[in-house]
Chain A
Amino acid sequence: MKLLTKFIMGGIIGFIGAYALLYFRDARTSESMFAYGGLALIVLLLIWSVYLYVSTKKLHFTSYTGDEEDEADEKKYKKSSDFSTSSYSALVVSMILLAFTLIQEMSVYLVVTSIVLVIVSLFLSTGMNPAAKFLYADREFPKADGSTSSDAYADEFLHAADEGERAIILQGLYKSHNLMNTLLVIAMMLATTYSILQDPSQMFSVIMIGVVLIAGNLKYQLSIRNK
C-alpha cells in the first residue's frame, strides 16, 4: 500500500513537473518563470497537505493497542504539525503570487488562479486542520471564527491546552519570537541595501517592517510587564 501511495505521488509530481516544464518552455520572461514556479510550488504544497490530512485521518480511524497506540498518536501529532507547516506555506506563497501577479499586471488567468489558490489554501489551513478534527476531537478548543489573532482566542486556546502542551507552546513561541525579531531586522537591512543599490525604493517596506517589529515587541512586553 505504501509502495502504491509512493507510486501515485511520484506520478502526480512527475505530471506537474512535466506540465510546468511545458509552460516554462513558452515562458520567455523572468516574471512568467517566477509566477509559474510559484504556482507549481503551491500546487505541490497543497497536494502534500491533502496527503498528510488523509494519512492523519487514516491513523485516527485505525484501532491500535499497547505501544502501537502511542506510536500512532506520535505519528498523528507529527503529520498534523507537518500539515500546518505545509498548508500555511501554501497560503503565504499564494498570497505572494497574488501580490506579484497584480503588481506585474500579469494575465487575468494568473490573477484569478492566484485568488483561487489563496482561498483553497486558507480553507485548508483553517477549516481542514486535522489537529482540531482528529487530535483534539474530545477537547473544547475555541472556534476560530476568523479571529484567531485576538487576545480572547489566545486565552481560550491556552486554557484548553494542558500544562505539558502549554510548556511546549511557550518554548516554541519564545524561540519563534526571537527568530522573527532577527529575521525582520535582516529583512529591513536588505530592503535598505536594495533601495540604495536599485531604483525602486523599498522605503515603504522598511517602515512597515519597523512598525511590525515595534508592535510585536510591544505586545510581548505588555503581556509580561503586568504580571
Chain B
Amino acid sequence: MKSRLKELRAREGYNQTELAKLAKVSRQTISLIEREEYMPSILIAVRIARIFNEQVEDVFIFEEGEL
C-alpha cells in the first residue's frame, strides 16, 4: 500500500503532530503510516481522508495485486 500522506500534509501545511491531533491518533501512528510500515484501520483512514477532503482510495493507494 502506498500513501500520499506526506504529500497531502505538505499541501495543507500540517506537520505530523498537527495532523495527529486532527486525526485523534499519536504522531508515531502518523509517522508509521507515512513510512508505509503500518496500514491504518478503516476508521483512521476515513478520518485522515476527510481532513484532506479526499476519497480514502486517493490517499491510500493499493496496487492491483494487493486487492
Contact = CB atoms under 8 A, between A and B. Distances in A.
Contacts of A82: none
B29 A165 contact: yes
A13 to B, nearest CB: 32
Contacts, number: 43
Nearest to A168: B28
Contacts of A70: 15-17, 27, 31
A8 to B, nearest CB: 31
Contact of B15 (A69, A77, A165, A167): A69
B44 interface: yes
B26 interface: yes
Interface residues of A, number: 15
Interface string B15-43: 11110000011111111110000101100
Contact of A168 (B32, B40, B44): B32
Interface residues of B, number: 18
Interface string A61-96: 000011101100110010000000000000000000
A42 to B, nearest CB: 31
Interface of A is mostly: helix
A70 B15 CA distance: 7
B27 A167 contact: no
A164 interface: yes
A45 B33 CA distance: 35
Contacts of B24: 162
A164 B33 CA distance: 8
A163 interface: yes
A73 B32 contact: no
B25 to A, nearest CB: 5
B17 A69 contact: yes
**6 closest pairs, A vs B, by CB?**
A164-B29, A70-B16, A162-B25, A164-B32, A69-B17, A70-B15
25 contacts: A66-B15, A67-B15, A69-B15, A69-B17, A70-B15, A70-B16, A70-B17, A70-B27, A70-B31, A73-B16, A74-B31, A163-B29, A163-B40, A163-B41, A164-B26, A164-B28, A164-B29, A164-B30, A164-B33, A164-B38, A165-B28, A165-B29, A167-B32, A168-B28, A168-B32
